[in-house]
Structure 1
Amino acid sequence: MSEEQFSTERRILMAMRKTLGGIIRDLTPSDAATRYPLSDATVEDVKKCFDLIAARERELAQAAGVSEERPHFIDEVSTPKVVSIAGLKKRD
């Protein structure tokens, strides 16, 4: 699979995930007294779709050599800095 196909498939998966998420947000009642409009079977099917999308996104990331695609803060340290205790000296 070429890089362009990876990119296109990734964009399709992202669009599907965002669209499904938007539909669920729009259909979710704002108060607990209102009945949820989707059947339990449909909710389970949507969950399975999210699982399949996530699994394929992981496969594409692994094939591209990306270890993790988790969000991070800009000021977050990307690699831990190990400090040797032996190198610490008591200051007078």
Structure 2
Amino acid sequence: MDIETLSKEQSILRTMRKTLANVVRDVTPLGGRTNPLTADTIEGIKDCFALISERENELAELLNFDQARPYYKDGEQQNAQVISFVKPA
């Protein structure tokens, strides 16, 4: 698989995750009303989120993408210094 294919798959997974989250948000009942989704459907949604997350992690590994570090589209890492603020006594 080439990098373009992997990037396209990442884009698809990101879109699926966001859309699924929006569907869940839209059907979540307000103020004590009953949930229109069955327990099986809720479990299925949780499984979908888990599978999407798993595949996103696999793709990140294939692309040597360190998820602990920020990613910048232009490829340049920002040079930043941590400044310690100490309150004067």
Q: Aligning the two structures, in what range does the TM-score lie when normalised by the shorter sequence?
A: 0.7 to 0.9
Q: Which residue of 2 aligns with 1:67?
A: 66
Q: Residue 67 of structure 1 aligns to a residue in which SS?
A: coil
Q: Which residue of 2 aligns with 1:83?
A: none
Unaligned runs of 5+ in 1: 72-77, 81-92
Please give the residue correspondences for 1:2-81 in structure 2 after superposition, counting only pairs within 5 Å: 2-32=2-32, 34-68=33-67
Cα distance, 1:51–1:62 mapped onto 2, change above 3 Å = same
1:30 CA drift (Å): 1.6
Give CA deviations for 1:33-76 in whole Å, capped at 9, x if unaligned.
x10000000000000000000000000001111121577xxxxx
Q: Which residue of 1 aligns with 2:75?
A: none
**Alpha carbon RMSD of aligned pairs, Å?**
2.0
Identity of aligned residues (%): 42
Q: Distance in 2 between matches of 1:2 and 1:63?
A: 10
Report runs of 4+ in structure 1 exceeding 6 Å deviation.
Answer: none
Q: Distance in 2 between matches of 1:36 and 1:60?
A: 34
TM-score by length of 1: 0.72
1:79 CA drift (Å): 8.9
Matched to 2:8, the amino acid is T
Which is greater in Rg? 1
